[in-house]
Chain A
Amino acid sequence: IQMTQSPSSLSASVGDRVTITCRASQTLSTYLNWYQYKSGKAPKLLIYAASSLQSGVPSRFSGSGSGTDFTLTIRSLQPEDCATYYCQQSYTTHGWTFGQGTKVEI
């Protein structure tokens, strides 16, 4: 399964609404997760099963979608949200597949 994210990078201001999309090459139902990667730190699970917020993650993060099209939204961008975001499918029994990432800058 191929995962295609867009955009590959974006620049936004503090307080902006940011949307990242992820498209799968075949249907995933809702087996889609989102992660935040920061250099030198452990990756962080943000959203699982397409729209469920992981415990401890700020509510400004949300996910939506099903089938092949998914979205990660940051409702009000904060400075600490500067990171690279990856979608990941957990549908197949052949292992995880990740998107190529979206780098978010302030």
Chain B
Amino acid sequence: QVQLVQSGAEVKKPGASVKVSCKASGYTFTNYFIHWVRQAPGQGPEWMGVINPSRGSTSYAEKFQGRVTMTRDTSTSTLYMEVSGLRPEDAAVYYCARGPTITSRPWDAGDYWGQGTLVTVSS
């Protein structure tokens, strides 16, 4: 069965970086887009970007350009999302979500999601 298993909770100081992992299993890793979404307390989900695991190509939300990096390791079927220059407002639960096949437009629905990674930013 399709599974996306994310890394555990992180506590970081302002200005630091955090790298969240998402290990995929149960399907052909390079065949599906992966999106990253975050949800801050009391707010709706916020899309951060998408990666094509086959090519490694990415598209980021304008808000996160220059501060977020999405990568993948095809040997371990693992995706990574790194946020640098953390601010208190970056405190949120971060999710990875499987998008459509890479032969489709990347914007269709996310059908499987990770369990979320809580990132706390505090001095």
Binding site for B on A (CB under 8 A): 31, 33, 37, 40-45, 48-49, 54, 86, 88, 90-101
Binding site for A on B (CB under 8 A): 4, 35, 37, 39, 43-47, 49-50, 59, 61-62, 95, 97, 105, 107-116
16 new A-B contacts, CB < 8 A, other than A88-B109, A90-B109, are A31-B107, A31-B108, A37-B39, A42-B95, A42-B113, A43-B45, A43-B113, A90-B107, A95-B49, A96-B35, A96-B47, A97-B47, A98-B45, A98-B46, A100-B43, A101-B44
Considering the chains assembled together, what is the distance between the CA atoms of A92 and B111 in angstroms?
18
Q: Which residues of B contact A101 (CB under 8 A)?
A: 44
Main secondary structure of the interface of A (DSSP, over half): loop
Contact B113 A86 (CB under 8 A): no
Q: Which residues of A contact B107 (CB under 8 A)?
A: 31, 90-93, 95-96
Considering the chains assembled together, what is the distance between the CA atoms of A44 and B97 in angstroms?
10
Q: Which residues of A contact B116 (CB under 8 A)?
A: 40, 42
Q: Which residues of A contact B35 (CB under 8 A)?
A: 96
Q: Which residues of A contact B62 (CB under 8 A)?
A: 94
- 4 nearest A-B pairs in the assembled complex, by CB-CB distance: A96-B47, A48-B109, A33-B109, A95-B47
Contact A48 B108 (CB under 8 A): yes
Considering the chains assembled together, what is the distance between the CA atoms of A95 and B107 in angstroms?
6
Contact B95 A43 (CB under 8 A): yes
Can you list 14 A-B pairs with a CB-CB distance of less than 8 A? A31-B107, A33-B109, A37-B39, A42-B4, A43-B95, A44-B113, A86-B44, A93-B105, A93-B107, A94-B62, A95-B49, A96-B110, A98-B45, A98-B46
Q: Which residues of A contact B110 (CB under 8 A)?
A: 43, 45, 96
A95 and B61 in contact, given A43-B97, A48-B109, A100-B44 (Cβ under 8 angstroms): yes
